Structure 1
Amino acid sequence: MARKWWQDAVIYQIYPRSFQDSNGDGIGDLEGICSRLGYLKDLGVDAIWLSPFYKSPMKDFGYDVSDYCSVDPIFGTLADFDRLLEDTHKRGIKLIIDLVPNHTSDQHPWFVESRAGRDSPKRDWYIWRDPAPDGGPPNNWMSFFGGPAWTFDAQTGQYYLHQFLPEQPDLNWRNPEVRAAMYDVMRFWLRRGVDGFRVDVMWLLVEDALFRDEPENPHWQPGMWDRGRHLHIYTEDQPETHEIVREMRQVLDEFDGDRMMVGEIYLPYEQLIPYYGTPERPGCHLPFNFHLITRGLSNWTAENLRRIVEEYQASLPAWATPNWVLGNHDQHRLASRIGHAQARVAAMMLFTLPGSPTWYYGDEIGMVDGDIPPEKVQDPAALRQRGLAGDQGLDPGRDPERTPMQWTPFTYAGFSTVEPWLPVNPDYPERNVETQDADPESMLTLVRTLLVVRRETPGLREAPYESYKAPKGVFAYLRGRVVLAALNFTAEPKTLAVPPGEILLSTYLDRYGAVESTLELRPNEGVILRLQ
């Protein structure tokens, strides 16, 4: 069968608030993204994923949607979106948008009507429960953002469920009217021409029908994350979720053009893989594989990464497409976690493994976590946890990985003409696109070159993965026995026995040419070798 575009697409995530401000209000917008499409085309990405731009009170910066079928004025208009979509497609780039189906804003008309009274026609569109006998929450479920996952509504005398902020009430996906309404939202955007969706918190869409208390986590200790005190057997990965995912897939399949979805799913492999569905009953095209983040970055060694990759490869059915992620808007920056030298090796690994990789904006110039003073913190999760703790705290939450894109060495890094919504990282005079564009050995040059090599080397797009023996500290693998990737995860030189071949690329960007039988890897060096 012919390969689909998404089976080896390089997906580039844009956090719209932080990519490019076009109107001088300090917040990125759709027109700003449109103005930077030439950069993305030159970079070599195949698809753009936009984090939410829908109308929203911005309690969680767009993940609290008040109208799924409009654009928030902060970001522009529907006409701006249509122009962005058209210009993206003209450049041969696909456009994926965020779908936030688990919850809405408490200002969404659906919830306003649901909250109006117990006899409201939309009461069952959300999850309402009577108080416990003591008047407290119905059960012990906890929010991702701290505190109980229930908020009491005095007007109607019941609690409503919210796995995130109280301003983000959970929809009741057991209600067929909710499903039909959300599938119509999907059709609205698919008719406009979007190429797919990244589905937010896909694994959380359904909760236990009996609302049972979750068991205690025996490994939890005071001072750890509140939600970690329980094992989430009743609020995550419920069997009915897979039925919903299959229905979403059916909506996508109503449209031509190989529309697709990526699912945000933080689960172990044995629970993640079933989200693909089966050939007879297909599910999510690309259930996000976050294991390089959740298990890899905390133990950044060749041996651990090989284990993660090969466990995943062994778990996948033959027809399923792998995918890989090293950063996003909820995770600290790659270069901050493993350093700039290893970030180059990580990029080579990400773009040479089989399947579809996702790249986070700014990682191609090695952006690091921003420096966010306590008084500048914006992240609602961090602010809520501060309030629950009863002090100001110092944790900036997810703000450090969301700072403005660094385009130039000039004021506000070329992102805006005014002070941005988050502080620009102080290193922008040295670390920015303009400076790295002129540097033949920069991180930006490396990523651009990697994507050229990826496009022009068939073995890196379609050939299967095969393990390759390497010394301690080196992760090496074959792609179809025509390409060898050798990655040194140490600060010491390493020697690797290899078949005769030609160096296509080094992360040092300073050597090419023939190799006979031995490949000498310098500290923190990755090499792509085309075999004879």
Structure 2
Amino acid sequence: MRILNWLLLPIGLMAGCQNQEAAPTGAAKGIPGQAWWKEGIIYQIYPRSFKDSDGDGVGDLRGIIEKLDYIERLGVTMVWLNPIYASPNADNGYDISDYRAIMQEFGSMEDFDELLAGLHSRGIRFVMDVVVNHSSDEHEWFVQSRSSRDNPYRDYYHWWPAEKGKPNYRYSLFDPKGEAWKYDSLTDAYYLHYFAQKQPDLKWENPKVRQEVYDIMKFWAEKGVDGFRLDAFQYVSKDTTFPKLPEGYEKEVIKYYGMGPGLHGYLKEMNREVLSQYDVFVVSEGAGSSFEDAHSLVDADRNELQMAYHFEGMDVGNSLDGYTLAEFKSVYSRWDSAFAKKGWLSIFLANHDVPRMVSKFGDDRPAYRAASSKMLNTFILSMRGTPYCYYGDELGMTNIGFDSIQQYQDIAARNGYQKALSEGRDMEQFLKELKFLSRDNGRTPMQWDSSRHAGFTTGTPWLPVNENHAQINVAAQEESPNSCLNYFRQMAQLRKSHLFLTYGDYQLLLPADEQVYAYTRTLEGEGALVLLNFSAAEAAAPLDKLPGFEERPLINNYPGLQVDASFITLKPYQAVLLPLK
């Protein structure tokens, strides 16, 4: 057995020693299809929870401005903010009342302009969240639409006159009763809302609605926004006859609601009117229910979108029983294979709609949290596709673990609880599942330091700060060369320095191994072997099943690597990249 003792240097002296200004390998080789948005690293910020500058307990734009140097030091190249438009906040900003105004809690348009300029001056691009499957019921369009049946804005939304009888059932994802048709007595009609009652669906079949959306996108593009994320966009096209759907279709909502008959026509029109006129990239939340659907959205010759953002990876582990590594490998390997030659993927393990990644996919027990967090970030930043990194995951932030429904702020949790109660479900079991899977887990305030509210606010935070902020926070991790934060910075720089981690071929190794996720990334004679131990026990990777590699790692989340004549033995949640010979 030989242990590579030269690895006992602090981790901060390994990948971190690379020249920050060095051109990435492969940059001069003219890789087909190169694009800035493919080579980017996206940092997603939930603005309500990042940094509060005025003590009202709600994060804001000036708070983000205060932390621009921190964001730059992460090594990310793009920032995506969840919606910051004017909103009554029935769904934390995903119910928009004015698409050309900033939410008062978040600041002013002047603050936005300063934020955008601050990002651009640091070489960081900005991605805007565009929520146009629905608006708020307080948007002037809807106020006008519901005022009378002959109002010019009536056809901006889906209305069903009551004299025709109750429309065929449509399931609402957020309604406490699960009903997507809401009766409105003002005009004796029902309006459609796939999400909450205060989020009426816009009628994209009306060309005036589409033109309104394109004008909004042009407004922000003219300000200098670099990209758009289209929220719930796969749902915008509807069969406006609303035929009866099969019983139980709610379990396959994407299949029955997504990729409607007019969707591709709308996207081609959007591309002509907006996207082709600016140097922007666009990603749609959701990619249909098949590889064919995803390719039809993003393949270059389609002239629609640039990047697929699929949910299948997020469906892994959505139970208290956890997940198997075989299932995890299968999902990411199949999607990579489907997009190996054409199209482009997003790579992510967390966002504002799911639990903290270390609690779901890693191990948030104190003994393993840091190692498993680093391991998961290694995965995200070593796969083909554009990585999305969620705020706080660079620190290894964990689920907060609420015990009662009164602690939750999320409308989906609150309405889901009422629906489960009305259906007579086992509420103890429901709360256990909610504690693990709730969206509020991923929305708790950023943990800046060990003070009372983690340095997030001087007031009362809109959502409680996780009690473990005394141990898990930026200030503490800045001082530690072996911290999750500094490891993330090193891994981000490694990705930017080696284009094979962006464009290279992916080959799965050891497919049946229940502990080790092993793969190679290779491009034009360069590459790396990636070894990730997804377990809390030591794991042995047989050398005869691995390609030849150099013994000095590009990065390693442990201060050592155990190699003998037959195996590489990985410590719990160890992650290592080894250059290929």
Give TM-score, length-normalised by structure 2: 0.84
Preserved contact between residue 270 and residue 315 of structure 1 (Cα < 8 Å): yes
Question: In structure 2, which of residues 123, 130, 154 is the aligned counterpart of residue 92 of structure 1?
Answer: 123
Asked if residue 68 in structure 1 is aligned to residue 99 in structure 2, the reply is yes
1:348 and 2:378 matched: yes
Deviation at 1:461, TM superposition (A): 2.5
CA 1:353–1:284 in 2, change beyond 3 Å: closer, same or farther? same
The amino acid that maps onto 2:62 is E
The within-5 A match list for 1:157-196 is 157-196=188-227
Name the SS of the counterpart of 2:300 in structure 1. Answer: coil
1:144-155 matched pairs, under 5 angstroms: 144-146=173-175, 147-155=178-186
Partner of 2:459: 418
Structure 1 residues 84 and 531, CA, compared in 2 at 3 Å: closer, same or farther? same
Check the 8 A contact 1:19/1:415 in 2, yes or no.
yes
Separation in structure 1 between the aligned mates of residue 565 and residue 389 of structure 2, nearest angstrom: 34
**1:401-458 CA distance string (max 9 Å, x none):** 2110000011200000011000001111111111112122222122111112112223
Whole-Å Cα distance in 2 between the matches of residues 36 and 251 of structure 1?
A: 35
Give the corresponding residue for 1:479. 521
Please list every run of 5 or more consecutive structure 1 residues that lacks an aligned counterpart in the other structure: 219-226
Aligned residues of 1:503 and 1:528 also touching (Cα < 8 A): no
Q: Which runs of 5+ in 2 are unaligned?
A: 1-31, 364-368
**CA gap 1:263/1:231 in 2 versus in 1, 3 angstroms:** closer
Q: Alpha carbons of 1:469 and 1:522: their partners in 2 closer, same or farther (altered >3 Å)?
A: same
The C-alpha deviation readout for 1:184-208, integer Å capped at 9, x for no partner, is 0000000000001111001111122
| 2:331 equivalent among 308, 311, 330 | 308
Partner of 1:261: 282
The answer to whether residue 398 in structure 2 is matched with residue 365 in structure 1 is no
Contact 1:408-1:432 within 8 A present in 2 as well: yes
What is the aligned counterpart of 2:344 among 311, 321, 328? 321
Output aligned runs, 1:384-399, within 5 Å. Answer: 384-388=415-419, 389=421, 394=431, 395=434, 397-399=438-440
Structure 2: distance between partners of 1:531 and 1:248: 44
How much has 1:4 moved relative to structure 2?
1.2
Query: 237-246 or 428-437, which moves further after superposition?
Result: 237-246
SS of residue matched to 1:466: strand
Does the aligned pair in 2 maintain the 1:488–1:494 contact within 8 Å?
no
How many angstroms apart in 2 are the aligned matches of 1:280 and 1:386? 45
Matched, 1:235 2:257: yes
- The answer on whether the counterparts of 2:538 and 2:569 sit within 8 Å (CA) in structure 1 is no
CA distance in 1, matches of 2:302, 2:258: 22
1:459 and 1:516 mapped to 2: Cα distance? 29
Q: Deviations over 1:127-147 (max 9, x none)?
A: 0012376x5x41110100132
Q: Size of the alignment, in residue pairs? A: 520
Once the two structures are overlaid, the 10-residue window that deviates more, 334-343 or 20-29, is 334-343
Shift of 1:165: 1.1
Q: What do you get for the CA RMSD once the two structures are aligned?
A: 2.5
Question: Which residue does 2:172 correspond to in 1?
Answer: 143
Give the distance between the partners of 2:255 and 2:301, measured in 1 at CA.
Answer: 28
Q: Which amino acid aligns with 1:191?
A: E
Given candidates 198, 207, 210, the residue that maps to 2:238 is: 207
Distance change >3 Å, CA 517–CA 354, structure 1 → 2:
farther
| 3-state secondary structure, aligned to 1:303 | helix
Q: Which moved more, 1:453-462 or 1:356-365?
A: 453-462
How far apart, in 2, do the equivalents of 1:50 and 1:100 lie?
12
Q: In the alignment, what sits opposite 1:223?
A: none
Change (3 A) 1:35 1:122: same
Q: CA deviation at 1:356?
A: 0.4
User: Structure 1 residues 32 and 217 mapped into 2: Cα distance closer, same or farther (>3 Å)?
Assistant: same
Is 1:489 paired with 2:520?
no
Aligned mates of 1:485, 1:204 — CA distance in 2: 37
Higher relative contact order (CA 8 A, sep 6+): 2
- Write out per-residue CA displacement over residues 474-517 of structure 1, whole angstroms, 9 at most, x where no aligned residue: 22111115211111223222133141314334543414899998
For 1:259, the aligned partner's letter is V
SS of 1:319's partner is coil
Post-superposition Cα deviations, 1:243-269, rounded to whole Å, max 9, x if no partner, equal 22222233443434x301111116433
SS of the residue corresponding to residue 42 of structure 1 reads helix
C-alpha distance 387-119 of structure 1, shift in aligned 2 (>3 A): same
1:329-376 CA deviation, whole Å, 9 max, x = no partner?
110111111312433322111110112011111111111112445333
The residue number in structure 1 matching 2:548 is 499
Moved more, 430-439 or 20-29: 430-439
The Cα shift of 1:275 comes to: 4.2
Report the more deviating stretch, 10-19 or 502-511. 502-511
Among 256, 261, 284, which residue is 2:305 paired with? Answer: 284
